[in-house]
Amino acid sequence: NLEDDQANCRKYWWRNLLYFNNLVTNPESCYSESWYLANDMQFFVLSPVLIYPLWRFKLIGMGTTCLAAIASMVVPAVLTHQMELAPTMVYSMPLKDYFSVYYIKPWNRFGAYVVGIILGYILYL
């Protein structure tokens, strides 16, 4: 309800400001939709690690980026298996648990961002 959200925002506002609210598994969150902004900011901060080698050392950069793309597919698969989760959201597990434990984590979302970096590089060529 609205009162609980307001209380949570008074208590946990700084997590949103620092963009790591998606890394903390806590049902008491402030503005729960902001996990996406946190993911985007974390990817933006990490993107020079992939983009600079692509620009400066093409072969090493492409290898690093492809390795990141492969890892971003393998890590969620391994976590899904280890945590015994369904590969997609199902209603047999409480939705809030699945969402906070798995769905919003950046290592499960990085794949699409890496594909965007690769496609951007291909268009740059």
Q: What is the pLDDT of residues 90-124, one digit of tens each?
A: 666 666 677 778 888 999 999 999 999 999 999 99
Kindly report the CA angle at 87 between 107 and 89, in degrees rounded to 5? 95
Q: Write down the pLDDT at residue 32.
A: 78
Q: Write down the pLDDT at residue 42.
A: 96
| Single-letter code of the amino acid located at 71 | A
Q: Write down the pLDDT at residue 110.
A: 94
Q: Quote the tokens at residue 59.
A: 């072969």
All structural domains of the chain with their residue ranges: 35-124
CA distance 35 to 23: 9
5-59 per-position pLDDT tens digit: 788 888 888 888 999 888 887 777 788 788 999 999 999 999 999 999 999 999 9
